[in-house]
Amino acid sequence: MSQSSDLTVSRADLSASRIETIDNPPLAEGEARLKVNAFSVTANNLTYAVFGDMMQYWNFFPAPEGQGRVPVWGFATVVESRAPGLGEGRKVYGYLPMSTSFTVQPSAVKAGGFNDMAAHRQPMSPFYNQYVFTDSDPLYAPDTEALQMLFRPLFTTAFLIDDFLDDNGQFGASQVIFSSASAKTAWAAAKQIAARGVPVIGLTSKRNIDFVKGLGCYAKVIAYDDIETLDAGTPSVFVDIAGDAAVRARVHGHFNDALKYSCSVGATHWQEGAAAPQKLAGPEPQFFFAPGQIAKRIGEWGAATFGQKVAAAWAGFLPVAAGATKIVERDGLQEAARIFQSFVAGNASADEGYIVRL
């Protein structure tokens, strides 16, 4: 491939994006070039952009000054390789840029895949640097590629949210409350939590009430306007997917000391996040970093057992995901930009799952 096109957004204004085409430099020894085949665009990718500086998500795929390449999850194929053990034509699942191609520096290529050991990626979690060969991936199936792109990274986070709460005895709470209950990460986690017999309450916008109720994983679904109708004395955990400062303050203020733990996960309401008050009632919100829980569990269980547990839960979740999602496929980076901007503007449809093919 002699050229590559990159979709970037302004790091100062996520509503501004552009596509640039550049000449690909020759590969150095030990490098490989991957063609991006397809990826999903979800609220999760908006979270990567919102927390791009704080969590170093912008650093995975370098971009021109002031711009950022939003990371996505999907499939790519090796089209050029000077990396030992990595042949052209291998298809992988992993962390990709919104680009037609990108370069990696594979290390320790094994039967299952490889890690990108490019120097600029090493300060961040190795979880994001792993690429899995589809021909040896136990979770891969050709007929569920779209669902894998949409839900696999979200489901892993959801599995870990449930595991983290269970690991900590629910912090003594008897119910879990999710903001942005229509978000895929929220209801995937709610499914796991509810399966343990723990009541889950979903907070959502009025327009998404029926969709969220139809998911069947929430014991109660209420609009944001009705937060204060909840029993303030019930010991609760708050899992904040929305990142909306006003919603967070109301939940904290309503439950106060009955709020046993507050967990910040996402930023679907990213434009409302900056107005947070200096001091919240109840516990101080803690940022949930999924790779940290992965490292803990792999250390305790071993990588094989951890993988088996996630795979078993994933197999049970796939039919649920398929039944609740209308898959919408589009072609090209221009469409990727339009879809991403729908999340920035907050008007993406909750019941749709967006796939971009290149």
Q: Are 11 and 67 in contact (CB under 8 A)?
A: yes
Task: Write out the two tokens for 302.
Answer: 């071993």
SS3 state at 350: coil
pLDDT per position as a tens digit, 224-269: 999 999 999 999 999 999 888 899 999 999 999 999 999 998 765 5
The answer on 166 and 119 residing in a single domain is no
Please state, as a whole number, how many other Cβ atoms lie within 10 Å of the Cβ of residue 7. 24
The answer on 249 and 184 residing in a single domain is yes
Q: Are 116 and 129 in contact (CB under 8 A)?
A: yes
The answer on 160 and 132 residing in a single domain is no
The answer on 285 and 338 residing in a single domain is no
Angle at 2 between CA 74 and CA 354, to 5 degrees: 25
Query: What residues form DSSP beta bridges with 107?
Result: 115
Domain assignment present for residue 163? The answer is yes
The answer on 156 and 126 residing in a single domain is no
| DSSP secondary structure, 178-195, as one string | ESSTTSHHHHHHHHHHHH
| DSSP secondary structure, 101-114, as one string | EEEE-EES--SSEE
Among residues 291, 314, 340, the one where a domain terminates is 291
Round to whole Å and give the CA distance between 247 and 267.
Answer: 12
Q: Are 50 and 243 in contact (CB under 8 A)?
A: yes
The answer on 176 and 131 residing in a single domain is no
pLDDT per position as a tens digit, 305-331: 998 999 899 988 989 899 999 999 999
The answer on 29 and 159 residing in a single domain is no
In the predicted structure, residue 275 carries a pLDDT above the cut 50: no
Mean pLDDT across the chain:
92
The answer on 208 and 132 residing in a single domain is no
The answer on 261 and 220 residing in a single domain is yes
Task: Write out the two tokens for 116.
Answer: 């990108």
pLDDT per position as a tens digit, 197-214: 999 999 999 999 999 999
The answer on 185 and 63 residing in a single domain is no
DSSP state of 261: E
Among residues 247, 271, 291, the one where a domain terminates is 291
The answer on 127 and 158 residing in a single domain is no
Which pLDDT does position 346 carry in this prediction? 87
* Cα Dmax for the chain: 64
**Rounded average pLDDT over 2-11:** 95
Among residues 269, 291, 313, the one where a domain terminates is 291
Domain assignment present for residue 57? The answer is yes
Supply the pTM of this predicted model.
0.84
Round to whole Å and give the CA distance between 247 and 270.
Answer: 12
- Residues near 145 by Cβ (< 8 Å), separated by ≥ 6? 38, 75
Look up the CATH number of the domain holding residue 210. Answer: 3.40.50.720
Which pLDDT does position 268 carry in this prediction? 57
Domain assignment present for residue 204? The answer is yes
Which pLDDT does position 269 carry in this prediction? 55
Domain assignment present for residue 316? The answer is no
SS3 state at 206: helix
- The number of domains in the chain is 2
Determine the straight-line distance between the first and last CA of the chain, rounded to whole angstroms.
14
Of 292, 345, 325, 14, nearest to 150 (Cα)?
325
pLDDT per position as a tens digit, 139-186: 888 999 999 999 998 898 999 999 999 999 999 999 999 999 998 899
The answer on 113 and 17 residing in a single domain is yes
Domain assignment present for residue 219? The answer is yes
Q: Kindly report the backbone phi and psi dihedral angles of residue 116, in degrees, each rounded to the nearest multiple of 5, phi listed first.
A: -85, 115
Round to whole Å and give the CA distance between 308 and 296.
Answer: 16
Look up the CATH number of the domain holding residue 34. Answer: 3.90.180.10
Domain assignment present for residue 31? The answer is yes
DSSP state of 170: G
In the predicted structure, residue 59 carries a pLDDT above the cut 60: yes
Domain assignment present for residue 173? The answer is yes
In the predicted structure, residue 102 carries a pLDDT above the cut 90: yes
Domain range enclosing 164 = 151-291
Domain assignment present for residue 132? The answer is yes
